[in-house]
Structure 1
Amino acid sequence: MALDRGVAAAVGRVMCGEAGPPDAPPPVDLIGVCDRAAERISAYTGLEPQRELPTPEWIGRGEWIDLNVDALAPAMDATLRRSGDSLGPLGGLAGGVAGAVAGAEVGAMTGLLAHRVMGQVEPGLLRDDDPAMRMVLVAPNLTIGAEAMEVDPADFVRWVTVHELTHAVQFTAVPWLKPEIERLVRELMGSLEVRLDVKALLRMPRPADLASLIAFVRSGDLLSAVAGEEGRERLEAVQALMSLVEGHAEHVMDAVGGELVGDLAKLRGAMDERRALRSSMVQAFLGRILGLDAKLRQYGDGKAFCDAVVVAAGPDALHRAFAGPDLAPSLAELGDPAGWLARTA
């Protein structure tokens, strides 16, 4: 069983609506912004990239959907294989249908998020081919976001670029980070009891009928998973590390953003008021199949942790969180920065 990427991309574009390339170039020199920001990020965080940082890309929503369909495929393929194992002799019969349903699920999720995501660094998690890291900025969302928040478009793009570039620095400077996330996700996927509603699959419309397929997928939980005690522990570990990565980038964009943008306070205030759901695609995927969307920790826990650590002990203390996987905060420690500082002193 494997994800039908064609169905996923097609459904994503239907859900997204406007999927063409950007109508206008970026309001700033993205490469210049990255060159200036990279020095400040490394100076503040103590993280030095060990390989070349990705070149920023100014893209449309359709290209973002394609990127994330490819990014989610390994995790979804693993989920489908586990569901096929549970079906026994019916696994082969249901395989193609399940791949189309999974494609519709992924397409619906990426199509909705394509209107909300400002930028993303994709490090190629769970990929066997080890693709080059990509850093993308979603042009229409940044343009609309700046207008809606009534902030300077150039400053807004600079600020979001700092956030995404911080992620690129994290993944290029911390050698254990990507393999650790991959290990945790694989262990989590291996601990799940995956369920596929075979009776419902037999009523599925043809994949070519996208409107009916989208309605069919929305009608119920055709693909779901249950996490036992071991699975919940793995999920907490994934949440904790993802929250650290996201919260650290949020903290850094405030710490160094003042040197790169005009009115940092206005940008932060506007973003907090209109904050769209921020999560990695892996988190979004896990939340969807586990039914835990509302419970997944988001950037707020991680940013509050980073802010508190720096206030209490300075930026160098925060660098310890990236010194090794055993020094990264647990989910409980994200709410107890003082306890984490004591443990890692």
Structure 2
Amino acid sequence: MDAELVDWDLAVTTARRLVRPGPPVARSEADTVVAELRRLAVEAEGHVQAYTRLEPAGPPTPIVVVDRPEWVRSNVAGLRVVSEPLLDKLADRDRGKLSTAVGRRVTGVQLGTALAYLAGKVLGQYEVFLPPGETGETGETGETGTPGETGAAGHPGRPGRLSLVAPNIAHAEQALAVNPHDFRLWVCLHEQTHRIQFTAVPWLRTHLEHEIASFIEATDLDADVLAERVRSAVSALRGAVLDRGPNAPSIVEALQTPAQRQVLDRLQALMTLLEGHADQVMDAVGPKVVPTVAEIRSRFDNRRGGGSPIDRFVRRLLGLDLKLLQYRQGGAFVRAVVAEAGVDAFNLVWESPETLPTRSELVDPGAWMQRVLGSRPSISA
């Protein structure tokens, strides 16, 4: 591409300027948090493997502990990889004009603003897409440390890495007034489940890439259609401001074309399964290894559903309410199947893309069991 349509450097700069600092801690305390998170992440991996009976294939993927600015940098790098095909498509359609029409600097500022908000919320994530040349281990730091760079280089065809955001975990455990050790292990159980999903299921990353490519292929670049999408997005924005309830579309949903929605249904079903599985695993393993898990779960769920009106507005604007629904709906699906058929039977979900549940099956686990397992027990999700 002659000129990129997003000012990625400005996105990083904007987010780092706007992101709030983490909780004030002494360097020695920060180092202690980082060291324990790294240790507990390894411990959690063993617990998750023992429960799920999923065995990672190939060399181990890195586990890193990062601060908020490093999380921003890493996610911008990942977004750049994922969005490159779409931006190439836009540039090929109207080369030389789109960089002005889209406003690459404005887009960079908007992206940076959104990431600044998210950088204070995310406790951890499995980074599926790493850019070519990205180091395997980077940003291992407390809130005030300088990121280091060691380890094997990342590759777009390989699984990514597990990142834990130390200041956000420390802030959450303080805000919830829960046992720090227990909370850190509980978070690691969730994130390690995502890591094992992608490292133990060889086709999963390729399937996700294919669905993203299909979404891009379904993108309608006609100016009139795009204008109509923007008008719908404005209506969604008004709905978010007025807090019209859970069925009001997010701005992300409003910008989709009908063809994109079909692909997005499959993507949402997949993400709902992945999030729900991680939620179910942390609750299944938690009582055995996290003494205060019931207290943590109760307080954490209350925190998930709360927040100020501004916080709820931003969540709806960014489509984060959908993620909360994924936790609940996906978790209910996994719990229902495991309760009725067991872990081994549930693991048939990982056999191929054809055995993944559809969106309708996620709310009717019996239908999935009938299709994949050959039985339809009388159960309720």
Q: 1:342 to 1:292 in 2, by over 3 A?
A: same
> 1:242 pairs with 260, 267, 271, which one?
271
User: What is the CA deviation profile of residues 211-255 of structure 1, one whole-angstrom value per residue up to 9, with x for unaligned ones?
Assistant: xxxxxxxxxxx9998533322110000111011111111111111
Verify: 1:6 aligned to 2:35, yes or no: no
**1:121 maps to what in 2?**
126
Contact 2:90 2:98 survives alignment (8 Å): no
> 1:318 pairs with 335, 340, 346, which one?
346
Amino acid across the alignment from 1:68: N
Contact 1:195 1:225 survives alignment (8 Å): no
Structure 1 residue 170: deviation in Å?
0.8
**1:110 maps to what in 2?**
115
User: What is the CA deviation profile of residues 82-115 of structure 1, one whole-angstrom value per residue up to 9, with x for unaligned ones?
Assistant: 44455x3xx4133266332332232122111001
Verify: 1:181 aligned to 2:208, yes or no: yes
Structure 1 residue 265: deviation in Å?
0.6
**1:43 maps to what in 2?**
50
> 2:76 pairs with 69, 81, 85, which one?
69
**1:30 maps to what in 2?**
37
Q: 1:223 to 1:266 in 2, by over 3 A?
A: closer
Distance 1:323 1:295 in 2: 26
Quick check: 16-25 or 42-51, which moved more?
Answer: 16-25
**1:341 maps to what in 2?**
369
> 1:274 pairs with 263, 281, 303, which one?
303
Q: 1:8 to 1:231 in 2, by over 3 A?
A: same
Identity %: 34
Aligned to 2:120, what secondary structure does the other structure show?
Answer: coil
Aligned to 2:111, what secondary structure does the other structure show?
Answer: helix
Q: 1:244 to 1:125 in 2, by over 3 A?
A: farther
> 1:17 pairs with 11, 15, 20, which one?
20
Contact 1:196 1:223 survives alignment (8 Å): no
Aligned to 2:220, what secondary structure does the other structure show?
Answer: strand
**1:92 maps to what in 2?**
96
**TM-score, normalization: structure 1?**
0.79
**1:161 maps to what in 2?**
188
Distance 2:62 2:110 in 1: 30
> 2:281 pairs with 227, 252, 272, which one?
252
Distance 2:122 2:347 in 1: 27
Q: Calculate the aligned-residue CA RMSD, in Å.
A: 3.1
> 1:307 pairs with 331, 335, 352, which one?
335
Q: Which runs of 5+ in 2 are unaligned?
A: 133-154, 225-250, 307-315, 374-381
Q: Which runs of 5+ in 1 are unaligned?
A: 198-221, 278-286
Amino acid across the alignment from 2:58: R
Distance 1:98 1:84 in 2: 13
Q: 1:311 to 1:318 in 2, by over 3 A?
A: same
Q: 1:6 to 1:258 in 2, by over 3 A?
A: same
Contact 2:124 2:162 survives alignment (8 Å): yes
Contact 1:83 1:195 survives alignment (8 Å): no
Across the two proteins, how many residue pairs are aligned to each other? 308
Aligned to 1:67, what secondary structure does the other structure show?
Answer: helix
Distance 1:232 1:305 in 2: 22
**1:208 maps to what in 2?**
none
Amino acid across the alignment from 2:173: A
Distance 1:232 1:38 in 2: 35
Amino acid across the alignment from 2:55: E
Distance 2:96 2:212 in 1: 26
> 1:143 pairs with 167, 170, 176, which one?
170
